Amino acid sequence: MSQQNTEAKNLVEIKHLKEYFNVNVGFFKSRPLKAVDDVSFTIKKGETLGLVGESGCGKTTVGRTILNLYKPTDGEIWYDGKLIKTNADIKEFRKKATMVFQDPYSSLNPRMTVSDIIGEPLDVHNLYKSKEERRERILELMNYVGLNSEHASRYAHEFSGGQRQRIGIARSLAVNPEFIVCDEPVSALDVSIQAQVINMFDELQDKLGLTYLFIAHDLLVVRHISDRIAVMYLGKMVELADANEIYSNPLHPYSKSLLSAVPVPDPKVARANKRIVLSGDIPSPLNAPSGCPFRTRCPHAKEDCALSMPEFKEISKGHFVACHHVEDVN
Ligand X SMILES: Nc1ncnc2c1ncn2[C@@H]1O[C@H](COP(=O)(O)OP(=O)(O)OP(=O)(O)O)[C@@H](O)[C@H]1O
Q: Of 164 and 324, which has the nearer Cβ to ligand SF4?
A: 324
What single-letter amino acid sits at 130?
A: S
Q: Does 283 bind ligand SF4 (CB under 6 A)?
A: no
Nearest approach, Cβ of residue 6 and ligand SF4 (Å) = 30
Nearest approach, Cβ of residue 236 and ligand SF4 (Å) = 10
Nearest to 108 by CA among 62, 162, 58, 144: 162
How many Å apart are CA 11 and CA 29, to the nearest integer?
40
| Helices marked H in the chain | 59-66, 87-96, 114-124, 131-144, 161-173, 191-208, 219-223, 243-248, 253-260, 267-272, 326-329
Q: What share of the chain is helix, strand, coil (3-state, %, to 5)?
A: 35, 25, 40
Nearest approach, Cβ of residue 132 and ligand X (Å) = 41
Q: Does 23 bind ligand X (CB under 6 A)?
A: yes
Residues 281-310 that bind ligand X (CB under 6 A): 285
Q: Of 122 and 323, which has the nearer Cβ to ligand SF4?
A: 323
Nearest to 51 by CA among 293, 188, 189, 235: 235
Could you report how far apart the first and last alpha carbons of the chain are, in Å?
A: 28
User: Which string of x and - marks every residue 55-74 that binds ligand X (by CB under 6 A)?
Assistant: xxxxxxx-------------
* Number of residues engaging ligand X in binding (CB under 6 A): 14
Q: Of 55 and 192, which has the nearer Cβ to ligand X?
A: 55
Sole binder of ligand SF4 in the list 33, 301, 312, 320 (CB under 6 A): 301
Q: Does 323 bind ligand SF4 (CB under 6 A)?
A: yes
How many Å apart are CA 330 and CA 122, to the nearest integer?
52
User: Quick one: which segment of 118-126, 198-206, 265-273, 292-300 binds ligand SF4 (CB under 6 A)?
Assistant: 292-300
Quick count: other Cβ atoms within 10 Å of Cβ 52? 26
Q: Does 195 bind ligand X (CB under 6 A)?
A: no
* Total residue count of the chain as it appears in this document: 330
Q: Of 52 and 117, which has the nearer Cβ to ligand X?
A: 52
Cα torsion for 102, 108, 114, 120, to the nearest 10°? -110
What sign has the CA pseudo-torsion 214, 211, 83, 99?
negative
Q: Is there a contact between 140 and 184 (Cβ–Cβ < 8 Å)?
A: no
User: Which string of x and - marks every residue 46-65 that binds Mg ion (by CB under 5 A)?
Assistant: --------------x-----
Residue 285 binding: pick among ligand SF4, Mg ion, ligand X, none (C-beta 5-8 Å cut-off by kind): ligand X
> Helices 161-173 and 114-124 meet at what angle, rounded to 10?
20
188's CB contacts (< 8 A; 6+ apart) are 102, 103, 104, 105, 161
Q: Does 18 bind ligand X (CB under 6 A)?
A: no
User: Which string of x and - marks every residue 232-271 that binds ligand SF4 (by CB under 6 A)?
Assistant: ---------------------x------------------
Residue 57 binding: pick among Mg ion, ligand X, ligand SF4, none (C-beta 5-8 Å cut-off by kind): ligand X
Quick count: other Cβ atoms within 10 Å of Cβ 255? 26
Nearest approach, Cβ of residue 28 and ligand SF4 (Å) = 36
- The residues of the shown chain that bind Mg ion, judged by CB under 5 A, are 60
- The residues of the shown chain that bind ligand X, judged by CB under 6 A, are 21, 23, 33, 35, 53, 55-61, 217, 285
- The residues of the shown chain that bind ligand SF4, judged by CB under 6 A, are 253, 292, 294-295, 298, 300-301, 305, 310, 323-325, 329
